Chain A
C-alpha cells in the first residue's frame, strides 16, 4: 500500500447553530485507498463529507488535500482540484436528460471532445445509461439514478470521490452492484471516501475505516479488523 497522504483532516469541528455536530475529528486518506466512515444516524458522517467538499465551512478545523490547505475553499474550486461528492439520496437533476446530467458533471471543463469521450466512457461503464441517455433523470428507477449520480461525479475526473450513503434505499442486489462499481472505480486509481450505514458492505470493501459516534471518532482500523471487532459487531453488524 502506498503511504503518501492524499487527504488530511485535522481537528474538524462543525456547528449547526447551537448543535455541536462534529467534535474535533482527525483522519487521513492515503492515495489509492477506499476508506469507510461508518456510524449511526446523526453521528456526523454526512457533515464530514460536506465539510471536505466545501459545502460546509468548518469552525475550527483544517483540511489538506495533497499537502495544500483547502479549509475555506468554495465548492466549485474544490471540484476543480479533483474532489467530487456523490450526494446522499441519489440527487440527480430530475428535469434534465441522462446525457445532460452527465454534461453537467463536466461543468468545470470546456473541451468538447474530451467531454464527449468521458460521456462515452461513462456509457461503457454503465451501459444502462446509454440506453436511457435521452430520458429525463427523474424517470429513471432508483438504481439507475444512483448509477447516474456516480457517472456524473466521474465526469469531473476526480482524484478523490466522496460517496454519501450509496446504498440508501436500494434493493440488496443493487447495493452489491453499486459496491462492485465503487471497487472498479477505485482499481482505476481514484481514491474513495465512503460514508455508509450499511457497515457490513462498507467494511468488506474498505482498506481502512473509522467509526464515528456522536461527532467523534471512537475506533479505527483496517476493514477486516473492524469487521471482526466485537464492539463493532455488536453495535453495527447485528451481533
Chain B
C-alpha cells in the first residue's frame, strides 16, 4: 500500500515543510535528545498526563510528545476549514431537526430506528430548541489523510471532545523550546482558542440572561482523566471550574456557591455525560450532576454546552449519513468525504464484511479508544476468526471500513527520524458564529507501521502548524 508522506515527495520536500528540512539537518544528535527530555519534563511539570478522549488506561501515564511538527499550507487548511465548518453546521441542523419535526426521517433519508431508538437520543429534550439552534458547540472532527488532496472523516465528536489542551500545550512547549522556528515560519496562532471558546459559550446564553453571561465549566472532578484540561480551559477563559455540588437550583435558576454568596449561572460548559447531569431527569443515582438542572434548562433559565442529546449525531451508525445531512440541510455537496462504511446490521454489507475481513477495520458501533476493534491486515488468522464469531453473533453492533493508507509525517524515533502515521482532530466552535482555530491535535502512531494512533495503544501527539498565506 503506498503511503502519502506529508513531507517528502520522493526526494523533494513538499513546500509546507521546506524550512523544517534545514532545522532537522542542522540539529545535532545530542541536542535532539536533550530537547526531547526537556519537552517531556515540561509536560510532566504541567501535569498534562491524561489519556486523550477518555480512552482509559493509566491516568498518570505521560503521553509521548513528538517534536517534529505536522504542517499544513494555507490552502490545504482553507479547504479543511470549509469542510469542517460545513460538517458542524449540518450536524447541528440534524440535531435541531431530530428533536423537532424529524424532516430528514420523514423524507426517508435516514432510518428513524437509528435515531429514535438510539441510546443517545434524549426524549427529555424533544421539542426544545436550544439558544441559537445549537446543540453541539464544540465539534471535534477526526480526520485522516491519504493523499495530497484526500482527506477522510473518521468520526465526529459532538458531545464533549477532549484533547484540545494538547493542542494548546504542544504549541506552548514548541515555542518555548524552538523560538527560532516560530520566527522563521509564519505559523497561525492557536492560543486564541480560549477566547473564541469563551465568546462561543457566551453567545448561547439563554434569553433570560441580561448583561454579561456567567459561564462555568462543570467537571466530574479531579479523578477524571481529563481534569487537567477542564482546569486549564477554566483558567484560560477566566471562568469558574465547578463540580455538581458547587451548583444548586433555586426557583427558576441555577446558582453557584461562592464566598460572596450565590451567583446565578447562565452557561454551563459541561464535561460530564448526559446520564449524570440531573438525577431528577436521568440516572437517579448520579451524584455528579445538579438536581433540577434539566427543568431549569428546558424552561430557558440556563444553557448547557453541549446540549443534552447532542450525542445522537456522533453515533457510529449515524455517521454514515452525515454526507446526506450536508445535502439535505445545506443543499451543498460535502467537502470532506466519509470513509466508506459497511453496516454489519445490513445483510448485504455483512456478506461483504465477512468475505473481506483480512482487509478491513471493524469497530463496535458504541466502542471508543481503539478497543474492541479488528485491524484486519495486522491480525493473525486466528484473531480474525475469533472476531468473525463476535460479528456473526451481533452484527448490528459492528461497522467496517477499508484499511486506509494513512499519511505519514517524519517523527523522532530511537533510530533517528522515520515516517509514522498520523490523524488530526480540529475543534470547531459553534455559537452565534462558527469558528475554527487553525490547528488541532495531531496524534501519531509511534510504533512502526502501526495505524492505531490512540494513546492507550502507543500513540503520541505532535504540534500542528497551519502556515499563513
The yes or no verdict on A and B being binding partners is: no
